[in-house]
Amino acid sequence: MPDTLIEAQAIGRTYRQGMTSVDAVAAATFRLQSGDRVALVGRSGSGKSTLLHLMAGLEMPTSGTIAWPALGSAETLLPEKIALVFQAPSLLDPLTVGENVALPLLLGKRPGDIDRAVRDALATFGLADLARKLPEELSGGQMQRVAMARAIAGRPRVVLADEPTGQLDQPTGRALLDALLAHLAGTNAALVVATHDALVAARMETVWQMARGHLTEGAKTAEGT
């Protein structure tokens, strides 16, 4: 029986924008279970990033309810149980690549060999040579891959990746996804990838479609069935 990792009932997130407000997410109902592979697709501004932030417990919904039955309360999720790979670059400038990847492991007080976990995570994405570099020495695509290595280093139960291939050419993007899926195949972690890339979406089992804040669960993709 798969674990229910995230369960949401009619959640919404309304932002104030001056005199008006925008329903970034509106009445979204879904369940994420261990082992799920989900592509979150939809036009720019449809609410994908907001939904990922709600799933991570980073923001709380302004309506509806969300719970993490197999994980615990919202405050305990990041960065150990749920890893969120932000859409924007998120590496800390003064730290080397290796130190950036080690940071959530240190914060999570995870027992075990942190150096080794960092090395393995970097190697997973072909980044072993970059461990001592500073973020400013990296390309945008390399930063994105380091952020992904940081996300998986602590072996989270859920990986939420916000357009992880957005800055990559297609072969590099495909290689990143291959490496991520191969890594996760050995775990029962769930993966949700927000993406504008049809090739990325086609690799997931399930597609969730967002339109103006509304979420509809699409059909299973051919690859996933």
Ligand X SMILES: Nc1ncnc2c1ncn2[C@@H]1O[C@H](COP(=O)(O)OP(=O)(O)OP(=O)(O)O)[C@@H](O)[C@H]1O
Contact status: 165 vs ligand X (CB under 6 A): no
The CB-of-50 to ligand X minimum distance in angstroms stands at: 3
The CB-of-225 to Mg ion minimum distance in angstroms stands at: 27
Give, as ranges, the residues between 75 and 94 that touch ligand X (CB under 6 A).
Answer: 87
Beta bridge partners of 12: 63
Which residue stretch of 41-49, 127-135, 152-160, 173-181 sits at the interface with ligand X (rule: CB under 6 A)?
Answer: 41-49
Q: Determine which residue in the list 2, 45, 69, 112 makes contact with ligand X, applying CB under 6 A.
A: 45
Edge-to-edge strand ranges of the sheet holding 63-67? 20-33, 4-17, 63-67
Q: Which amino acid is at 35?
A: G
Contact status: 73 vs ligand X (CB under 6 A): no
Give, as ranges, the residues between 13 and 52 that touch Mg ion (CB under 5 A).
Answer: 48-49
Whole-number Å distance between alpha carbons of 215 and 41? 10
Partner from ligand X, Mg ion, none binding residue 135, C-beta < 5-8 Å depending on class = none
Which residue stretch of 1-9, 11-19, 83-91, 216-224 sits at the interface with Mg ion (rule: CB under 5 A)?
Answer: 83-91
Contact status: 50 vs ligand X (CB under 6 A): yes
Give, as ranges, the residues between 19 and 38 that touch ligand X (CB under 6 A).
Answer: 22, 24
Whole-number Å distance between alpha carbons of 197 and 42? 10
Whole-number Å distance between alpha carbons of 174 and 195? 13
The smaller minimum CB distance to ligand X, of residues 28 and 179, is found at 28
Residues 142/130, Cβ–Cβ less than 8 Å: yes
Q: Tokens 């290796």 appear where? A: 98
Contact status: 47 vs ligand X (CB under 6 A): yes
Calculate the dihedral angle through the C-alpha atoms of 163, 168, 174, 180, rounding to the nearest 10 degrees.
Answer: -50
Whole-number Å distance between alpha carbons of 192 and 20? 31
* CA-based end-to-end distance of the chain: 18
Partner from ligand X, Mg ion, none binding residue 124, C-beta < 5-8 Å depending on class = none
The CB-of-120 to ligand X minimum distance in angstroms stands at: 30
The smaller minimum CB distance to Mg ion, of residues 62 and 87, is found at 87
Residues lying near Mg ion in the complex (CB under 5 A) are found at: 48-49, 87
Residues lying near ligand X in the complex (CB under 6 A) are found at: 15, 17, 22, 24, 42, 44-50, 87
